[in-house]
């Protein structure tokens, strides 16, 4: 017979929840230098919440909790109704950014040596709730005298892609460009369901004291690695294959991604256009010109920055 507590909650369920909570707190430190930052009730705030030796405390219902990273103070407070959290970033008593999150515990990490050796970046997330959308990433960076906060719209992505590169190199940080999600071609019969929509990785770069999305030709090696990994550099069978149905949709999505990455690697329209045309299935060939223009526009227009702040410190 299943044991229950006086409240009527099954004991096994409570133990399972407790184990899951402990596992979520004891997250491992990755080779990228990512380590958890723990929540502290405001009245018990440690002067250094990013310390590895800090003992995690559970935030109490309705009490404001906070992190400090250099001059930045990130505060989170439970909204009484609706299961939401109010998130704010403050510096010197001034609110730099405010938002609401539907996460039950908005995740926060410190990434060491990001963007450069000796620097560090606090990374936090807010989620609006709803299908596919929308997540925002908050980056608070301290790099010598430079202090910056940048908020990126991640759209359907749940978190930034933080990839280690070895002990002597800072990790790479990227997000996805979802501008082709649910894309409808001029031919109304040709479109992408969300699960098969192109989603292109875009590298974030740090310069002039703040974060931004990388520009075409700026990080050639990064995009060439993706092209090689995705088969974008392989020779294709000509003429275009007679793929139909889901296979044609998948081939069209890959063709768009390959052409996009070629432009980001610094290739001109002729080279990127050939990559696109050679990989489009016959059913999509009539859309070549408009697709190429839409890819060029997507590459040029993508920013994803929602809000930014930077200073040279004190």
pLDDT in tens, 153-197: 998 888 999 998 877 889 999 999 999 999 999 999 999 999 999
What region, left, alpha or beta, does residue 61 occupy, with left being phi > 0 and alpha being psi -120 to 50 degrees? beta
Query: Is the pLDDT reported for residue 83 higher than 70?
Result: yes
The pTM score is 0.79
C-alpha dihedral over 264, 266, 268, 271, to 10 degrees?
-80
pLDDT at 64: 73
pLDDT at 222: 97
Query: Is the pLDDT reported for residue 62 higher than 70?
Result: no
Query: Is the pLDDT reported for residue 114 higher than 70?
Result: yes
In a domain, 100, yes or no: yes
pLDDT at 210: 95
In a domain, 223, yes or no: yes
Cβ-in-10-Å burial (0-12, 13-18, 19+) of 261 comes to: buried
In a domain, 300, yes or no: yes
Tell me the residue range of the domain where 295 lies.
31-311
Cis peptide preceding 239, ω within 30 of 0: yes
pLDDT at 133: 73
Q: Are 276 and 254 in contact (CB under 8 A)?
A: no
Q: Give mean pLDDT, residues 55-74.
A: 67
Residue 137 — very low, low, confident or very high, per pLDDT cuts 50/70/90? very high
In a domain, 276, yes or no: yes
Number of domains comprising the chain: 1
Which residues, listed in sequence order, are joined to residue 284 by a DSSP beta bridge?
A: none
In a domain, 19, yes or no: no
Look over the chain and give the mean of its residue pLDDT values, rounded to a whole number: 80
Q: Which of 63-72, 139-148, 209-218 has the lowest mean pLDDT?
A: 63-72
Query: Is the pLDDT reported for residue 88 higher than 50?
Result: yes
In a domain, 16, yes or no: no
Q: Quick one: which of 216, 200, 114 has its CA closest to 157?
A: 200
pLDDT at 243: 80
In a domain, 5, yes or no: no
Digit-coded pLDDT (tens) for 140-154: 999 999 999 999 999
Tally the C-alpha atoms within 13 A of residue 128's C-alpha that lie toward its C-beta. 13
Query: In the 3-class helix/strand/coil scheme, how is 216-249 assigned residue by residue?
Result: CCCCHHHHHHHHHHCCCCCCCCCCCCCCCHHHHH
pLDDT at 228: 97
pLDDT at 19: 34
pLDDT at 81: 72
Q: Which of 105-119, 222-236, 253-267 has the lowest mean pLDDT?
A: 105-119
Digit-coded pLDDT (tens) for 20-54: 333 333 332 333 444 333 333 333 333 344 443 34
Query: Is the pLDDT reported for residue 272 higher than 90?
Result: yes
Residue 132 — very low, low, confident or very high, per pLDDT cuts 50/70/90? low
In a domain, 112, yes or no: yes
Digit-coded pLDDT (tens) for 273-290: 999 999 999 999 999 999
Q: Give mean pLDDT, residues 260-282.
A: 97
């Amino acid at each position: 017979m299943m044991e229950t507590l006086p409240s009527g909650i099954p004991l096994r369920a409570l133990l399972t929840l407790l184990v899951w909570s402990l596992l979520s707190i004891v997250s491992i430190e990755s080779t990228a230098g990512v380590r958890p930052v723990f929540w502290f009730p405001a009245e018990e705030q440690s002067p250094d919440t990013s310390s590895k030796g800090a003992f995690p405390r559970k935030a109490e219902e309705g009490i404001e909790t906070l992190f400090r990273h250099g001059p930045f103070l990130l505060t989170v407070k439970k909204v009484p109704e609706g299961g939401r959290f109010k998130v704010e970033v403050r510096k010197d008593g001034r609110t730099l950014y405010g938002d609401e999150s539907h996460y039950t515990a908005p995740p926060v990490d410190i990434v060491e040596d990001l963007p450069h050796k000796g620097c560090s970046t606090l990374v936090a997330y807010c989620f609006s709730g709803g299908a596919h959308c929308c997540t925002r990433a908050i980056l608070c960076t301290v790099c010598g005298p430079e202090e910056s906060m940048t908020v990126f719209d991640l759209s359907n992505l749940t978190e930034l892609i933080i990839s280690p590169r070895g002990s002597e190199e800072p990790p790479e940080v990227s997000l996805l460009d979802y501008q082709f999600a649910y894309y409808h071609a001029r031919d109304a019969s040709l479109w992408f369901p969300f699960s098969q929509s192109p989603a292109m990785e875009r590298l974030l770069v740090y310069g002039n004291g703040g974060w931004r999305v990388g520009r075409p030709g700026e990080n050639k090696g990064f995009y060439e690695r993706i092209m090689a990994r995705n088969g974008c550099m392989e020779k294709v069978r000509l003429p275009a294959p007679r793929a139909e149905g889901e296979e044609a949709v998948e081939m069209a999505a890959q063709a768009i991604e390959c052409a996009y990455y070629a432009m980001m690697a610094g290739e001109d329209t002729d080279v990127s256009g050939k990559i696109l045309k050679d990989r489009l299935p016959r059913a999509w060939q009539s859309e070549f010109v408009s697709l190429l223009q839409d890819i060029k526009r997507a590459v040029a227009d993508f920013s994803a920055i929602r809000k930014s702040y930077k200073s040279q410190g004190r």
